[in-house]
Amino acid sequence: MKSKFGLYIHVPFCASKCRYCDFYSFAGKQSQMDDYIEALFWHADKFAPQFAGRQADTVYFGGGTPSLLGGERLTRMLNGLRERFAILPDAEITVECNPDSMTDELLSMLKSAGVNRLSVGVQSAHDDELRMLGRRHTFAEAQSAIRRAQDAGFDNISLDLMYGLPGQTQEYFMQSVEALLALSPAHLSCYSLKLEPGTPMGRENPVLPDGDAQADLYLALCDRLRQAGFEHYEISNWAKSGRASQHNSRYWTLSDYLGLGPGAHSYVAGRRFAEPSSLTAFCDHAQVVDEEDIPDFSPHSEYIMLRLRTAAGVDVQDFTTRFGRDFAPYEAHLAALQKPGLTEKTQTGWRLTEAGFLVSNLIITDVLSVDDIE
């Protein structure tokens, strides 16, 4: 039996654009949703023969705002994918949702279609922060949407939360953490705000909490979620036992996944490629283009970079088997950071501590400097 793979479906439609978002998405093009779905099936048909004999054990609808498509369209898409790919009956099937589009009808139809995991963009429990971010919902609306999803039978719900917002204190942030914990999520994804060029917040360039303050927020979050029984399995992700995102774990372990939709990226058999980053080109059946080579990252260095983002860390034997390279030169750099408490040795290799996660970019750059002197 050939190895399993994941499916990622990029849905670029939004009711409105959040003020911090630089993902490939846009508002006001809902009239093109049906054309998009037909194009998605056309692209899926081109790839399907390559995956004959392989089974998909994860499907992830990301965006954008997939829930904006509504239950009928999402059901049609999922059924169409099942006709083209062998999706396992027990596959993890995730749909990203915004609270303002989580209607009872949508939730009922998603449940009937076999969706078993929701990822809900809450971001904050404070309405003033939600307005600043350009979110369309209030926290009360988010609470209602999540409770209704649970009543509809969804028991695997992930919530998104942001920290490091302008003017945010630790006390104010932890109020959001407690409010989200009160909703009994199975999973939390927590990200610091990045001011991306070209976004409204990027142009305004507000003052964010400094590095030390953001570190305090992150470590306070880590402590509280540990107390609440969550496993910190990746830098920005926490899960109850058995609830880690199977699909996202593919990215961090360099496992195969096929991306469909405008701008969607894929990793299959060591090859990276992408769909055209244009809805028009996608709907006009533009050919998939190879992603440009990334000069600073070869597969073995990307493996190290991604695995050091996880609590499992680097498996030395797996690294050697995959790439036929000695890990010792990289290990020397990780070992030097053990005494300061930034790394620790595991039974199979090396990983970063939570303190190490805070400076992961610096550590990874240092470890990969080995490649510069080869």
More confident of the two residues 58 and 253: 58
Report the C-alpha gap between 325 and 286 in whole angstroms.
38
Whether 171 and 320 map to the same domain: the answer is no
Whether 193 and 68 map to the same domain: the answer is yes
Whether 244 and 323 map to the same domain: the answer is no
Whether 323 and 218 map to the same domain: the answer is no
Whether 14 and 145 map to the same domain: the answer is yes
Identify the band that residue 3 occupies on the pLDDT scale cut at 50, 70 and 90.
Answer: confident
- HEC assignment per residue over 293-330: CCCCCCHHHHHHHHHCCECCCEEHHHHHHHHCCCCHHH
b/e sequence 201-223, b meaning 16+ C-beta within 10 Å: beeeeeebbeeeebeebbebbbe
Is the previous residue joined to 70 through a cis bond, with omega within 30 degrees of 0?
Answer: no
- Condensed to tens digits (0 to 9), the pLDDT of residues 345-371 reads 999 999 999 999 999 999 999 999 988
Task: Give the pLDDT of residue 297.
Answer: 53
Q: What is the chain's mean pLDDT, rounded? A: 94
Nearest to 154 by CA among 189, 104, 81: 104
More confident of the two residues 28 and 177: 177
Q: Is 20 left (phi over 0), alpha (psi -120 to 50) or beta?
A: alpha
Q: Which CATH number characterizes residue 200's domain?
A: 3.20.20.70
Of 188, 219, 252, the last residue of a domain is 252
- Condensed to tens digits (0 to 9), the pLDDT of residues 148-178 reads 999 999 999 999 999 999 999 999 999 999 9
- Percent of the chain scored above 90 by pLDDT? 83
183: three-class secondary structure by DSSP: coil
Residue 287 within any structural domain of the chain: no
46: three-class secondary structure by DSSP: helix
131: three-class secondary structure by DSSP: helix
Element (H, E) at 158: strand 157-163
- Condensed to tens digits (0 to 9), the pLDDT of residues 277-296 reads 899 999 998 777 665 444 44
Tokens representing residue 198 in the block: 């070209």
Of 192, 224, 252, the last residue of a domain is 252
Which DSSP letter does residue 23 get? S
Whether 367 and 221 map to the same domain: the answer is no
Residue 116 within any structural domain of the chain: yes
In this model, does residue 57 exceed pLDDT 80? yes
Tokens representing residue 85 in the block: 């790919």
Residue 70 within any structural domain of the chain: yes
Whether 306 and 240 map to the same domain: the answer is no
In this model, does residue 1 exceed pLDDT 70? no
Residue 142 within any structural domain of the chain: yes
Nearest to 186 by CA among 98, 62, 111, 94: 94
Host domain of residue 135? 5-252
For the chain, the C-alpha Rg in angstroms (whole number) is: 21
> Total structural domains in the chain?
2
Residue 268 within any structural domain of the chain: no
Whether 195 and 343 map to the same domain: the answer is no
Residue 360 within any structural domain of the chain: yes
Of 252, 278, 310, the last residue of a domain is 252
- Condensed to tens digits (0 to 9), the pLDDT of residues 293-349 reads 444 458 898 899 999 999 999 999 999 999 999 999 999 999 999 999 999 999 999
Nearest to 257 by CA among 279, 238, 273: 273
Residue 288 within any structural domain of the chain: no
- Percent of the chain scored above 70 by pLDDT? 97
Task: Give the pLDDT of residue 286.
Answer: 77
Whether 158 and 222 map to the same domain: the answer is yes
Whether 201 and 308 map to the same domain: the answer is no
Task: Give the pLDDT of residue 20.
Answer: 87
Whether 238 and 325 map to the same domain: the answer is no
Task: Give the pLDDT of residue 219.
Answer: 96
- Condensed to tens digits (0 to 9), the pLDDT of residues 203-254 reads 999 999 999 999 999 999 999 999 999 999 999 999 999 999 999 999 999 8
Residue 64 within any structural domain of the chain: yes
Whether 90 and 238 map to the same domain: the answer is yes
Task: Give the pLDDT of residue 35.
Answer: 96
In this model, does residue 373 exceed pLDDT 70? no
Element (H, E) at 113: helix 104-113
Task: Give Dmax over CA atoms of the chain in angstroms.
Answer: 59
Per the DSSP assignment, residues forming a β-bridge with 58 are 6, 92
Task: Give the pLDDT of residue 165.
Answer: 97
Q: Which CATH number characterizes residue 364's domain?
A: 1.10.10.920
